[in-house]
Amino acid sequence: MQKRISNLPFQGTKEQEEKLHAVIAKHKGEQGAVMPVLHEAQEIYGYLPVEVQTMVADGLGVPLEEVFGVSTFYSQFSLTPKGKYNISVCLGTACYVKGAAAVLDRVSQILGIQPEECTQDGLFSLTACRCVGACGLAPVMTVNDDVYGRLAPEEVDGILAKYQA
Amino acid sequence: MDHVQVKINGMPFSVPKDSTVLEAARYAGIDIPTLCYLKGINEIGACRMCVVEVKGARSLVASCVYPVNEGMEVFTNTPKVQESRRMTLEMLLSVHNRNCLSCKRSGSCELQALCQELGVENAAEFDGALPEAQTDTSTLHLVRDNSKCILCRRCVAACQDQFVSVIGTNSRGFDTHIGCSFERPLSDVTCVSCGQCIVACPTGALVEKDQCQEVLDAINDPSKYVVVQTAPSIRATLGECFGMPVGANVKGKMVAALRRLGFDKVFDADFGADLTILEESHEFIDRVQNGGVLPLITSCSPGWVKFCEHYYPDLLPNVSSCKSPQQMTGAVIKTWYAEKNGIDPKDIVVVSIMPCTAKKFESQRDDQNAAGPGIEDVDIVLTTRELARLINLAHINFARLPDEDFDPALGITTGAGAIFGATGGVMEAALRTAADVLEGHPVDQIEYQEVRGTEGIKEAVYKIAGMDVKVAVVSGLKNANEVLSKVRSGEADYHFIEIMCCPGGCVNGGGQPIQPAAVRNFTDLKAIRAKALYEEDRNLPLRKSHESPVVKTVYEEYFGEPGSHKAHEVLHTTYVARSRF
């Protein structure tokens, strides 16, 4: 599946930018500098929007398309921000056969976002992940570090409401 | 050169030590098929079409990148090789838009040719899921249809070679596709419209934006006076579209074909080239004598101009304010010629036949409307390939046409104009005129050999009127970048630089006939096509732009002298700084 590209407004700070410029300066001139710089950029910003990738391309003196190509090739790079609360719905085998797809649909429906997207208010982001190692609790969903198991789709509403308060 | 002994299909050959297996096979008279390989540009061994068996090797090897060694035994045509190539083609076809009948590249498609050669018939065998079909029609010059893309990456390599790199491979696996950063349309990135990606494409995934119908509509509209002009390089390449050898000069037949297509007048953009030389050499002399910005850089090549606007906006004051020959010819047609012949410029349609896709962009730029707001100097630009399509559409038998002459009003031109189509041509033409003007008398020297040839960067120093004039001639934007970074840093102290966007100049432009990789990899297209233009120059009675009787008349009747106020209004233009991202 192709990666989703965020259309949320960029909210980078001066501090983040200074950090990124330091990272770029550290790697500039190295062969294959794009990968390590993108890694650190994602640590700084949480994701890699066009504004960040442009700074990386400009700073390293490589074409923006090359940076983008790398960022879309490797699955660990994300082009969408994470919300204050990141919801992961497990679609591993055990969860899947126990009806995780319906749970994911329900979350998606309530929040109005697809997996790999973030809500406009920045509160929730949604990820469809593979096994979280809690198959005994299938189907499983996590909200940041909170784990919810043996879920039925209709329970999702109440769980999300707790975080919206 | 050191040689090694190899056996190819059991026969012994002595081949240069640094050959690839693909090159070595040519000594045995075998052209191993390729898809992704473009010599010097894309050597990645990815498509697996060129696989061969090598004795002792664990698996089939990609001959385009596999070096020969002493005693090597190669087999190029075993059942295993054939089966592998066939399988590769079947896999490509399984996700390929097989709408071949109506494809612009039908007949010149490298994938189609290979399928025929290898007898791949059962294309539906592996039909299944298809990647998302994406088309990009956002620019004025090309259409990208990814449903016909085979991911050979030749376009990506060509774009990199131009130092532009606005297209690349995005995503991975089944989703891999050619696109721009953040999936933006090509019109939103820093594409310079050079079209080198189009001539690199083996299939119909990249084609020029076809404007043939617009031309037909104009010709069929009785209220329109439709005039055509052809760029210097078209006569040296158009014949290739009709099976003639590379480098054949088909000027006479080209003019005859255009007349039969129904154009009211057939003019030569060599006239605009001659005019450019008068204005540009005047500008050069003026800058030298009055302390203007140097080096002066030529402005004929719209791909180069757009590159400068994106990547070197600080050097825009160095770029000549002269319009390109195409735009000058158009401007003169819609001003001087229209007035002289009592035609309303609004009723004139100027069609250009250009070697260039960036000319489609150039004609729609601001400040290219000498006859008034809304009246473009040039209305429609066709590439060489589109002209061939029009000729075929009209069922004109090109090979049997007689040789005809351009309409004389804007058709008598000089050898200086003719060589504009090759890298170094503009410089040489400018030197011929500048030397005569500065020395105050006709100078004997006509040929400036040092600026000829297909090397990407050429330098020379000429003594003109007691002054050492330091010139550079550059083609290909990677080379332009190299020279410009030296100009920017102050490391280079040239007086005059010619820059052409495409490697080798217009003869190798993005609108020129597409030769398959099998030809392109082993033929110096640039040099052979350029030779036709230098021959034309040598055989013309007039070889200096300022000797052109048409140019003289236009100045006498209309502009006064080069660099006059009127000339500036009609023949000069402005540029805009653009973003790098």
CATH homologous superfamily of A85-164:
Glutaredoxin (3.40.30.10)
Per-residue pLDDT at A76 exceeds 90: no
Terminus-to-terminus CA distance in chain A, angstroms? 34
**CA B404 – CA B477 distance, rounded (Å):** 37
Task: Identify residue A159 by its one-letter amino acid code.
Answer: I
For chain B, the domains span: 3-77, 213-571
Q: Was domain B3-77 assigned CATH 1.10.3720.10?
A: no
Nearest CA to CA, how far is B581 from chain A (Å)?
7
Q: Does A67 touch chain B (CB under 8 A)?
A: yes
- What distance in Å separates the CA atoms of residue B403 and residue B256, rounded to the nearest whole number? 6
Please write the tens of the pLDDT for every residue from B428-445.
Answer: 999 999 999 999 999 999
- Say which of A58, A65, A72 has its CB closest to residue B165: A65
The nearest alpha carbon in chain B to A5 belongs to B182
The label of the residue with tokens 């449903």 reads B147
Report how many helices (DSSP H) and strands (DSSP E) chain B contains, helices first: 20, 18
* CA atoms B234, B240, B246, B247: torsion sign: negative
Amino acid at B205: A
Q: Are B425 and B419 in contact (CB under 8 A)?
A: yes
Are A44 and A23 spatial neighbours (Cβ–Cβ below 8 Å)?
Answer: yes
Please report the pLDDT score of residue A75 as a whole number: 83
Q: Does any CB of chain B come closer than 8 Å to the CB of residue A3? A: yes
Q: B399: which 2 tokens?
A: 């090979």
Residue of B165, B169, B175 with shortest CB distance to A63: B165
Cβ–Cβ contact A48 with B under 8 A: no
| Omega within 30 of 0 (cis) for the link into B295 | yes
Evaluate whether B453 touches B503 at the Cβ level (below 8 Å): no
Which amino acid is residue B11, in one-letter code? M
Which run of H or E residues covers position B226? strand B225-230
Q: Structure tokens of B172?
A: 């991975």
Parts of chain B with a pLDDT under 70 = none
Q: DSSP secondary-structure letter at B299?
A: -
Interface size between A and B, measured as CB pairs under 8 A: 48
Residue B117 and residue B160 in contact, taking contact as beta carbons nearer than 8 Å = no
Within 8 A of B182 by CB-CB distance, chain A residues are: 5, 50, 53, 68
Question: Which pLDDT does position A7 carry in this prediction?
Answer: 84
Residues B88, B22 contacting (CB under 8 angstroms) = no
Find chain B residues with C-beta within 8 A of A51's C-beta.
Answer: none
Which residues of chain A neighbour B168 with C-beta distances below 8 Å?
63, 65-66, 68-69
| Nearest CA-CA distance, residue A4 and chain B, Å | 10
Please say whether the beta carbons of B164 and B156 come within 8 A.
no
Q: DSSP letter string over B66-120? A: PBP-TT-EEESS-HHHHHHHHHHHHHHHHTS---GGG-TTTTT-HHHHHHHHHT-
CB pair distance less than 8 Å for A63 and B170: no
Spatial separation of the C-alpha atoms in residues B435 and B284, rounded to whole Å: 11
Nearest Cα neighbor of B474 from B459, B494, B462 is: B459
Q: How far apart are CA A140 and CA B320, in angstroms?
A: 67
Tell me whether residues B181 and A3 touch, CB distance under 8 A.
no
Contacts of B105 (CB under 8 A, 6+ apart): B112, B201, B203, B204, B207, B514
List chain B residues with CB under 8 Å of A50: 181-182
A125 close contact with B: CB closer than 8 A = no
pLDDT at A130 over 90: no
Q: Report CB contact under 8 Å: A3, B172.
A: no
Residue B233: CB atoms within 10 A of its CB come to: 31
Q: How far apart are CA B9 and CA A112, in angstroms?
A: 64
- Going from the C-alpha of A160 to that of each of A86, A109, A132, B465, the distances in angstroms are 11, 12, 20, 84
Residue B57, both tokens: 């090797």
DSSP E strand stretches across B244-376: 265-268, 296-297, 348-354
Taking phi over 0 as left and psi of -120 to 50 as alpha, with beta for the rest, B579 belongs to beta
Contact B175 A53 (CB under 8 A): no
Using the Cβ of A58 and the Cβ atoms of chain B, whether some distance falls under 8 Å is answered with yes
Q: How far is A161 from chain B (nearest CA, A)?
A: 34
Confidence category of residue A8, pLDDT binned at 50, 70, 90: confident
Smallest Cα–Cα separation from B269: which of B114, B169, B406, B450? B406
pLDDT of residue B524: 96
The CATH number, out of the four listed (3.40.50.2020, 2.30.110.10, 3.40.50.1780, 3.20.20.100), of the domain defined by the range B213-571: 3.40.50.1780
3-state secondary structure (DSSP) of residue B85: helix
Closest residue of chain B to A72, computed from CA coordinates: B171
Q: Is-contact B167 A65, C-beta < 8 A? A: yes
Which of B160, B171, B189 faces A72 most closely, judged by CB atoms?
B171
Alpha carbon separation from B342 to A20, B329, B346, B441 (Å, rounded)? 65, 18, 12, 38
Can you state the percent helix, strand and coil of chain B, rounding each to 5? Answer: 45, 15, 40
Q: What pLDDT, on the 0 to 100 scale, is given for residue B430?
A: 97
- pLDDT at position B499 is 98
Tell me the H-state helices in chain A.
14-27, 34-45, 50-60, 64-73, 93-97, 100-111, 156-164
Which residue of chain A has the CA closest to B580? A58
Q: Are the Cβ atoms of A50 and B580 closer than 8 angstroms?
A: no
Q: Is A4 on the interface with B (CB under 8 A)?
A: no
Instruction: For the beta carbon of residue B119, count every other beta carbon within 10 angstroms.
Output: 10
Contacts of A68 in chain B (CB under 8 A): 168, 170, 181-182
Q: How far is B371 from chain A (nearest CA, A)?
A: 40
> Are B166 and A1 within 8 A, CB to CB?
no
**How many residues belong to chain B?**
581
Task: Give A51→chain B minimum CA distance, Å.
Answer: 10
The mean of the pLDDT values for chain A is 94
Question: Two tokens at B391?
Answer: 């000729």
Instruction: Report chain A residues whose CB lies below 8 A from the CB of B171.
Output: 2-3, 72-73
Q: What was the pLDDT predicted at B123?
A: 74
- Per-residue tokens: B483: 């020279």
Q: Which residue of B has its CA nearest to A69?
A: B170
Q: Given an 8 Å threshold on Cβ–Cβ distance, is B580 in contact with A58?
A: yes
CB B352 within 8 A of CB B378: yes
Coil vs helix vs strand at B332:
helix
In the prediction, which pLDDT does A132 show?
Answer: 87
CB-CB under 8 Å, A72 with B166:
no
- What residues of chain B lie within 8 A of the CB of A65, using their CB? 165-168, 180-181, 189
CB contact under 8 A, B181 and A68: yes
Instruction: Give the closest residue to B474 by CA, choosing from B300, B354, B343.
Output: B300
Give Cα A131 to chain centroid, integer Å: 17
Please state whether the peptide bond connecting residue A139 to the residue before it is cis, i.e. omega within 30 degrees of 0.
yes
Of A3, A57, A65, the CB nearest to B167: A65
> Which residues of chain B neighbour A73 with C-beta distances below 8 Å?
169, 171-172
Cβ atoms of B181 and A52 closer than 8 Å: no
Quick check: A5 and B170 CB within 8 A?
Answer: no
What is this structure's pTM? 0.93
Boundaries of every domain in chain A: 14-73, 85-164
